[in-house]
Amino acid sequence: MRWLKKDIQSVMERDPAAKSVLEVVTCYPGFHALILHRLAHFFARRRLVLLPRLISQFSRFITGIEIHPGATIGEGFFIDHGMGVVIGETAEIGKDVTLYQGVTVGGTGKEKGKRHPTLGNKVVVGSGAKILGPVTIGDNVRVGAGAVVLNDVPANTTVVGIPGRVVIYRGQRVPAVNLNHQDMPDPVAEMLDCLQRQVDDLRCRLETCEAGNRKEEGRRGRKAL
């Protein structure tokens, strides 16, 4: 019941469209998928195979969200909208994590053992992002929409692009769950801006040199006369 209360509270805190607890309990597919997953995971930990898979398939049918019964999910987990979200068998997700629609927390290849990602606490994963393989995502990380993450990500950073590039978010630690996707940095734009500044600086130096050469040629011409 403590986890159930925390899960409902996380929806109320992070979704401004949520008006009441009753609305969350009856109308939010992400919440339904999480409750059914916790039930399936309970049976999966007791070495049952078919029953937890049947529960997860039923959950996928009614919510559009696929969570393998073996996945470990902490309290305060929130899936916003949720259609197309996939979470693999050996995935481990920490506390207060937020996923948007179309996110994949999946594996690569056919290897056995740990083959899915581990997400730390207060991680936010944007729409359509893919986190693949046994990588570790640190606490307070934000993954931009559409990013493809294939390597470990340190805590308190932001990942954007394909493949995912790590950028420090304003040089500061993210203190809480940050859902402002419009603030995502663009490393490509920043690099182009840096190159433009260098070009402008070189142009100014070249113009200064050319102006100095013209003055020197003028002085030499007057001396010759």
Q: What's the pLDDT band for 224 if we cut at 50, 70, 90?
A: low
Question: Domain-by-domain residue ranges, the chain?
Answer: 2-185, 186-225
Please state whether 165 falls in left (phi above 0), alpha (psi between -120 and 50) or beta.
Answer: beta
The total number of residues shown for the chain amounts to 225
Quick check: 76 and 97 in contact, CB under 8 A?
A: yes
- pLDDT of 58 reads 93
Hey, what amino acid is at 29?
P
Contact status, residue 145 vs residue 127, Cβ threshold 8 Å = yes
Rounded Cα distance, 93 and 117, in Å: 8
pLDDT 10s digits, 61-119 = 999 999 999 999 988 899 988 888 999 889 999 988 999 989 999 887 777 788 899 99
Q: What is the pTM of this model?
A: 0.71
Look at residue 62 in the predicted model and tell me its pLDDT.
Answer: 92
pLDDT computed for residue 160 by the predictor: 86
Domain spanning 2-185, CATH architecture: 3 Solenoid (2.160)
Using an 8 Å Cβ cutoff, are 90 and 107 in contact? yes
pLDDT in tens, 125-144: 988 899 998 999 998 888 88
Helices 50-63 and 29-44 cross at an angle (nearest 10°) of: 170
- pLDDT per residue over 140-192, tens digit each? 888 888 889 998 888 888 888 888 888 765 555 544 545 555 555 566 666 77
85 Cβ neighbours under 8 A, 6+ residues apart: 30, 33, 64, 65, 66, 67, 79, 99, 101, 102, 103, 104
